[in-house]
Amino acid sequence: MATDYDAIFKAYDVRGTVGDQIDADGARAIGGAFARFIAASGATTVLVGRDMRPEGEEFSAAFGDGAMDHGLDVVDVGLCATDMLYYASGSLDLPGAVFTASHNPAGYNGIKMCGAGAAPIGADTGLEAIKSMAIAGPDPEATKGTRTSRDLLGDYVAHVRSFVDVDALAPLLVVADTANGMGGLVVPAVFEGLHLTLDHLFPELDGTFPNHPADPLQPENLRDLQSRVLEVDADVGMAFDGDADRMFLVDENARPVSGSLTTAIIARTVLEREPGATIIHNLICSRTVPEAIAEAGGTAVRTQVGHSIIKQAMADTGAIFGGEHSGHYYFRDNYRADSGLIAALMVLEALSHHPAGLSDLVSDFDRYASSGELNTTVDDAAVVIERVAAAYPNARQDRLDGLTVDLGDWWFNLRPSNTEPLLRLNLEAPTPDEVQQRLAEIQALIA
């Protein structure tokens, strides 16, 4: 079946089910379109990598063939985490593409693309143009390009380690659940030889995900990690998603730590190094994040949700770091790209200086209760948003990304999905009971 371009081109990447939505022919067409898009800015070489999904080798080879048909040289970096591809793009100043469906279950695949220097490519910065060119079909007029291979794992490991003083790391026991994803390649490589003991769950690269889905945002996918942390009396647990660009923490008591609280920990750490620096956070992060940034003497900048938006805001403001509640952490010195492993090492460095443990370190920032992100299917998101806004006429409201309503001691954000008929609700209040009370209030308005 032909590739369904309308289905697979999303706001920030390409993603769909293998066979009925994306196939090798589609990968080749997108490779050719990507080549034409980046050649317009003078590029002559493209990096191509892949995760461990079964069709990744076939699809990435087809993508490379499409790029070579349009005159570009292809550097195949082989199996790689998404942040490893971003590192390669930044350090070599080349555009790149990695075949991955991130946290999606088996049966999915996709492509994350970036410009030279790991510059983000989203719907407004090239994806729509690439989609149009892929649909239009090939236009190979140039001499066919070449393909070479390059192993960048060692260089990537050195880069990740450069963000911390590895000699100052305490001999912590770390349980890492890489869920048969690409963390199985990069996590042990980064940890090797450090003063840390790694207890590794599900290290085998297996894109059928035989143990549990590689989506640590879902609480049920943390259960194996939580059990193992308690079983071995670990100092910390770390869960990585399928392409290892996101990382979630579990403390020594097996309690999950949100992406917001991890953002606050890292923000304080980087502000100790660069006092007064600017930190980016998206608008669904906990209120504790801008509070922690201000308390540490930094400048907090609030943005919409989405990696291309965060990266652009970092470029515009010179921010040193950016965090999202979803577990993406961005670093200026990582070409403004996100990296789960850099975030992991920075947390371990902070924990090395805090012998009371991760739960105590987190307690400084654990100030509010939150709903997590709740999705509701609606017929007309805009109509629902206006109805909810009208119910709070005296509250402070903004439309930076959907609708944010601030009622003093509690707030919520309601925003439409970029790709589905869904409204996404995030709500924060002083206590869990008040979260439930306010949720019922908002959900009644949505319904």
pLDDT for residue 417: 84
pLDDT for residue 419: 65
Catalytic machinery residues: 102
Indicate the DSSP class of residue 18: B
Tell me the C-alpha distance between 9 and 11, whole Å.
Answer: 7
Using the Cα atoms of residue 270, residue 304, residue 325 and residue 420 in order, give the sign of their dihedral.
negative
pLDDT for residue 425: 97
Which phi and psi (to 5°) does residue 106 adopt?
-55, 145
pLDDT for residue 1: 54
Using the Cα atoms of residue 370, residue 372, residue 378 and residue 384 in order, give the sign of their dihedral.
positive
pLDDT for residue 214: 97
**197-201: strand order across its sheet:** 197-201, 173-177, 236-240, 247-250, 256-257
DSSP result, 265-297: HHHHHHHHHSTT-EEEEETTS-THHHHHHHHTT
- pLDDT means over runs of 10, the chain (447 residues): 88 93 97 96 97 98 97 98 98 98 96 96 93 89 91 98 97 98 98 97 98 96 98 98 97 97 98 98 97 98 92 96 96 97 98 97 97 93 96 97 97 87 95 98 95
Backbone φ/ψ region at 251: left (φ over 0), alpha (ψ -120 to 50), beta: beta
Element (H, E) at 161: helix 153-161
Q: Hey, what are 356's tokens? A: 């009371």
pLDDT for residue 308: 85
